[in-house]
Amino acid sequence: MSISPKTIHAFIQGNQEAMGEVYEEYKNLMYFVIASYISQPEDCEDVLNDAFIKAMEHRTDLKDPSKIKSFLTTISRNTALDFLRKKKETANSDLIDEMYGETDSYNVMLNLLEPLLTNKETIVTYYKAVFQYTWPEIVELTGIAESTARKIYAEALEKLRKELR
């Protein structure tokens, strides 16, 4: 099924039926994006619901209906990262406060990385450098082969080195 531009326009206008069609069409894509960050299926479902609610709330921000995939992918990614940040902060809030004096340090790093790296590079770099996951953990979380993940990480580090010069 391919969603029509007319349906996307109706979604932007707030039509309930169109919202249902957009959800059905893109829920698997949104879930995939979320699952590339979050490993627990129950958490993925909750984050998917949150992401789609955000998409409905911000639907009028979508000025070009042909960009709906990017719009939904970005919202899904940001919602997943917010979830991870909150989860990590809850688990380690005292340690983070001691180390950084603030609980928003992960989001600060993400904001710095995001414009410089591709989505995959950001994900792998974030998991490796920030959360200090092992390569097997990164493979499990992302579904990317270890050799590919290592290559992505090396390329991301090289991009960051060049940017910092």
Residue type, 87: K
Out of 2.40.30.10, 3.30.565.10, 1.20.120.790, 1.10.10.10, the CATH code matching 104-165 is: 1.10.10.10
Q: Is the pTM of this model over 0.85?
A: no
Distance CA 41, CA 31 (A): 9
CATH architecture of the domain with range 1-92: Orthogonal Bundle (1.10)
Residue type, 7: T
| Average pLDDT over the chain, rounded to an integer | 81
Other residues' Cβ atoms within 10 Å of the Cβ of residue 34: 23
Domain with CATH 1.10.1740.10 in the chain: 1-92
- The DSSP letter of residue 103 is S
- For 105-120, how does the pLDDT look when each residue is reduced to its tens digit (9 = 90+)? 455 565 666 677 787 8
Residue type, 34: I
Q: CA 76 → CA 33, 71, 100, distances in Å?
A: 6, 9, 27
